[in-house]
Amino acid sequence: MDYLFSLKLLLMTSLKISLASLLVLGSGHLQAQNFDLNSAVAHALKLNPSLNAVQSQANASTARTQVSKAKNRPTLTLSHTARLSDNPLDAFADKLNTRQVTAPDFDPATLNDPGSTDLYFTQLALRWPLYTGGRVSAMVEGAEQVEKNSRLQFQREQEKVAYKTMRAYLFVQATIQGLITLEDAVSAAREHVKTTAKLAKEGRIVESDKLAAEVYLAAIRSQREQAVTRQRSALNELKLLMGLSLGSEINLAVSKVAAVSSSISPENYEKLALQNRKDLAAAQALVQAAQSRVDAARSVRKPSLDLLVNSNWYDDQPGFESQSSSIMGVFSVDLYNSKSGSEIDVRLAQQREMQWRLQALQQSVQKQVRDAYNYLHESTERLAIAENNVSTALQTVKLVKQRYGQGRTILLDLLQSERLYTDARMEKLTARLNLDVAQLALPLAAGTLALPMVAP
């Protein structure tokens, strides 16, 4: 049983296609991993490096949100200071803080030249921003919107990776079918070479027919080699998308994509896109974040109120001999700040920029939906034409063979008809692939592409 027959039998009797066996003359690898379309996408969603990078960005946004929220919470600080000084003011203050002031300490000579003094100062301080004019809450809202943007962008990137993986998977399947078609053509061309060589040797045909058969075989073999390269490249692309090493062996099951409903109008697909597209929702979150930054800039003109509570310990040696406490409220307001107006203008301009970007994205999404819808229609019509053309080309080959066998036509006509039949089959494969991809591209554009469940 030759290689071609074994390959056909494998495709007809099993749902699994061993890509490794196609490249290494049917030899299997026990270490190969098995995937169908859904499991390949699930693997990509879990291990695709670019997708994991976007997820890390989203996690960083979550952390920044927590930092913003912490700015509205109290802070508790413990500090310890050891100081040696001959400053008269420090020397007198040290005696006050350590409760060691005596009458001689008020002597002018002692006050002016107290000598050096040491102090050990321990402080436990609480600071609580009770009111910030809305600045902290605006910053928190902005951080939450940026985090929302990152999460939505990650979800959109998941859809893109799923689409790319499914497209690559289908392309691998198409290249395998293309190899089978070209193997058929090569086998037929070899038979013509053998036949014409025999007939030329017997003097029954002219030498040019033999040479024409050899040229045709060379052309088909060249086309097959190109198909082998495309198949290998498609397989490597799929592996990269799935987060696999290029040296890994995988088996792919024959899989199909779900057909897209043709009863939904492009206008309805546009409405779905405007409702479901994650990148649109992400852009809207950035608009809200920009508005929050405007609010934060305006809050600078409002007063703020902080609560400060301190507990202090002073001693002339390491220890906690003398303790004192204080509690205070700090009310502050900027009576004039030349920078606040400019800052507000900057934030307002950034908000308008985000609004324009959102509008541009909405228009782009509508065009993407229209293009995907038209591409689906084109692919459907193209496949119907290609299927009809294959039937016509096959019938042509049969008729020309019959006429050639009767001596009523030349070999070039037969080779030309077979070449057209091969091209028609390849065109049908391309049209089938384009239709499958179009049935994925439209849900991607509409934001309704279904993703498989991914195990944690």
pLDDT string in tens for the chain (456-residue length) = 333 433 443 343 333 334 344 433 344 444 789 999 999 999 999 999 999 999 999 999 999 999 888 888 899 999 999 988 888 888 888 888 888 888 887 878 777 888 888 888 999 999 999 888 888 899 999 999 999 999 999 999 999 999 999 999 999 999 999 999 999 999 999 998 998 888 888 887 788 888 989 999 999 999 999 999 999 999 999 999 999 999 999 999 998 898 888 778 999 999 999 999 999 999 999 999 999 999 988 888 889 999 999 999 988 877 777 888 999 999 988 887 777 778 888 999 999 999 999 999 999 999 999 999 999 999 999 999 999 999 999 999 999 988 888 778 888 888 999 999 999 999 999 999 999 999 999 999 999 999 987 655
In a domain, 191, yes or no: yes
User: Quick one: 262 exposed, middle or buried, by C-beta within 10 A (0-12, 13-18, 19+)?
Assistant: exposed
CATH code at position 387:
1.20.1600.10
In a domain, 95, yes or no: no
* pLDDT at residue 454, as a whole number: 63
In a domain, 119, yes or no: no
What are 308's two structure tokens? 């400060």
In a domain, 404, yes or no: yes
Structural domain that includes position 367? 3-72+132-446
In a domain, 175, yes or no: yes
In a domain, 224, yes or no: yes
In a domain, 26, yes or no: yes
* pLDDT at residue 78, as a whole number: 92
Q: What's the number of domains the chain is made of?
A: 1
In a domain, 126, yes or no: no
